[in-house]
Amino acid sequence: MIVVMQHGATRENAERVAQLIREMGLKDHIIEGTHRFVIAAIGDDRFLDKGAIENVEGVERIVPILAPYKVASKEVQAEPSLVPLGGRRGGVVGGPKVAVIAGPCSVESREQILEVASAVSEAGAVALRGGAFKPRTSPYQFQGLGEKGLEYLAEARERTGLAIVTEVMSIEQVDVVARYADVFQIGTRNMHNFNLLCACGEAGKPVLLKRGWSATLEEFLLAAEYIIHAGNKQVILCERGIRTFETYVRNTLALGVIPAIKRESHLPIVVDPSQGTGHAYMVPAMCRAAIAAGADGLIIEVHPDPQHALTDGAQSITPQVLHQTIAEVEKIAAAVGRSL
């Protein structure tokens, strides 16, 4: 870390900072600039709480130098991680092939999920998404079919060979979801639910971790770090749009995160263009853009009858649109040297 002193701070102030740095087991190094003192702390301080130093008289601010994540970073592993999705399709995220995960926001009925599964399978997806436990902003909204929904998903896998990606909302659900699903999805609202991150880490299944809608890149990678730290390296990051002042979209899809993650981390990253925009008409364009930017896959909301979808109808595309979108994505993938 670097501690920047205020203009006018004294050498005694700087010495006090140096002393606290030494108390932390680090080496201090005071630099007297032309305008102010700066103190460098040498050593691994990434896991220390550095803010306390801000209370020393004359301190202006603390500048961390080391990224606070470790096992999620390229420092520890330079080559990209590959995460197999399970199912009979052999889908892998992070390799040369672009993985398409598709399906409804919610499992609404056996018929619905089997119909979608069959459609997305034909369209070229390698995994089926669908929520059995639904995090809903209002207590009065449809909360999902629960274990019954998981059974339907398993049946859909049986029939199509698609891997099953489904959300787990709390620790109590980990066991039951693990019995049916191939990949745990941790939703945007739970990215900071550290107890759940640990529990999913311990469960050992691949985890698709959605970025919190206001999470920084650092917080996103630290959430992955929690899972890896709990013993599970199979983490797939997912950009799904952030909250900004924009109103023509439900979320602002921040595709710049893709090259940033590729620079910082070995973990694969997929994009959710449905949550990431909130409008079905934008989904095909954002699928193409995501793959062009280097994403390792897509997770797309598809519903056979979006006008009657119980959840997220506005952003669900039909199987027909999915078909055409995947054809477009295939061309983009080829243009960047990848395939589906």
CA-CA distance, 25 to 10, in Å (whole number)?
Answer: 24
Nearer to a second copy, 76 or 179 (CB): 76
Is 312 among the residues that bind a second copy (CB under 8 A)? yes
Task: For residue 160, give both structure tokens.
Answer: 């199509």
C-beta of 158: minimal distance to a second copy in Å? 29
Q: List, in order, residues 6 or more apart from 263 with CB less than 8 Å away.
A: 74
Is 21 among the residues that bind a second copy (CB under 8 A)? no
Q: Which of 11, 22, 65, 159 binds a second copy (CB under 8 A)?
A: 65
Is 22 among the residues that bind a second copy (CB under 8 A)? no
Task: For residue 207, give both structure tokens.
Answer: 């985890």
Task: For residue 93, give both structure tokens.
Answer: 């995220």
Task: For residue 95, give both structure tokens.
Answer: 């390799």
Q: Which of 12, 79, 263, 339 binds a second copy (CB under 8 A)?
A: 263
What part of residues 43-62 is at the interface with a second copy (CB under 8 A)? 43-44, 46-47, 49, 51-56, 62
CA-CA distance, 38 to 325, in Å (whole number)?
Answer: 54
Which DSSP string corresponds to 140-206? TS----THHHHHHHHHHHHHH--EEEEE--SGGGHHHHHHH-SEEEE-GGGTT-HHHHHHHHHH-S-
Q: Which of 11, 122, 148, 170 binds a second copy (CB under 8 A)?
A: 170
Q: Which amino acid is at 183?
A: V
Is 235 among the residues that bind a second copy (CB under 8 A)? no
C-beta of 316: minimal distance to a second copy in Å? 8
Contact criterion met (CB below 8 Å) for 187 and 167: yes
Is 248 among the residues that bind a second copy (CB under 8 A)? yes
C-beta of 163: minimal distance to a second copy in Å? 25
Is 243 among the residues that bind a second copy (CB under 8 A)? yes
Q: What are phi and psi of 308, to 5 degrees?
A: -120, 15
Is 38 among the residues that bind a second copy (CB under 8 A)? yes
Is 139 among the residues that bind a second copy (CB under 8 A)? yes
Nearer to a second copy, 158 or 202 (CB): 202
- DSSP state for residue 316 in the 8-state scheme: P
Q: Which of 14, 107, 128, 291 binds a second copy (CB under 8 A)?
A: 291
